[in-house]
Amino acid sequence: MSADTRADEAATATGDREVGPDDGVLAVEGLRKEFGGLVAVDDLSFAVQEQEILGFIGPNGAGKSTTFNCVTGTYPPTAGTVWYKGEEVTGTPPHEMVKRGMARTFQSFAPLEDRSVLKNVALSMMEDTLVTTDGLLGEFRSDAREICERVGLGDRLHQTPAELPHAGMLRLELGRALGTDPDLLLVDEPFAGLSGPEVESVSELLLELRDEGMTLVVVDHNMRGLLQLIDRAIVINFGSLLAAGTPDEIKNNPEVQEAYLGGGLE
């Protein structure tokens, strides 16, 4: 990353400069989301560069999921602008954002419980196809199998979600998102409940996706896992931007340490 880009990002992070449509593959300016009297996200601006892995960090209730929900069209923002690939997409509904190449995973898994792993992934690939017969699903089956293998579920194709261990559910959630063939993937807590080796394995998969051209935004509470994975992070607290920088800059930022852990980021 050039010194100019870094300086620009620093200016953005401190609110010295407005974010615009050309600032990244995803650009967000002045995002605000209110729920009744509660301000969950307050004047948040950031940009995500193509093919980077951006960490999205903040304590519980900081507004991370709400930001994801506003960016992906699940919630209409109260104010602010979202651009994706240079086009304004503020308030565009989720199915339209998926068509434009943006996918997300959820903290709470919602696969179709009565369908196999393979069918769950195949169904995510069908987009607007309004047919759910096994015959039509068959067209998607070989690509779905490849995705299942990719996310480490190649030996569990015919199991139902209920038969999967926690890490398997997480992999299925990733598989269902990959089934939509995204250019930008927002990943909500990919490491939650995973063992050390599982964190490493999921990290490797996310890095591979990035190396193949995908852009990723990743939220997680596992700071150690996250800081090893990401190129850059933004930190929010009480819905507002607190800091932006490289993993080292984030680790050494006293405000971040204070807000996130009450000092001492490991």
Ligand X SMILES: Nc1ncnc2c1ncn2[C@@H]1O[C@H](COP(=O)(O)OP(=O)(O)OP(=O)(O)O)[C@@H](O)[C@H]1O
* Residues near ligand X, by CB under 6 A: 35, 38, 40, 58, 60-66
Shortest distance, position 91 Cβ to ligand X, whole Å: 16
Q: Which is nearer to ligand X, 97 or 186 (CB)?
A: 186
Q: Which is nearer to ligand X, 148 or 230 (CB)?
A: 230
Three-state secondary structure call for residue 247: helix
Alpha-carbon distance 78 to 91, whole Å? 10
Shortest distance, position 211 Cβ to ligand X, whole Å: 28
- 102-104 sheet: strands from edge to edge: 102-104, 184-188, 215-219, 53-57, 232-237, 240-245
> b/e map of 161-185 (b: 16 or more CB within 10 Å)?
beebeebbbbbbbbbbbbbbebbbb
- Looking from the CA of 249 toward its CB, the CA atoms found within 13 Å total 16
Q: Which is nearer to ligand X, 80 or 179 (CB)?
A: 80
Shortest distance, position 178 Cβ to ligand X, whole Å: 23
For helices 196-211 and 166-178, angle between their N-to-C axes, nearest 10 degrees:
10
Q: Which is nearer to ligand X, 124 or 237 (CB)?
A: 237
Shortest distance, position 237 Cβ to ligand X, whole Å: 9
Shortest distance, position 75 Cβ to ligand X, whole Å: 7
Q: Which is nearer to ligand X, 69 or 116 (CB)?
A: 69
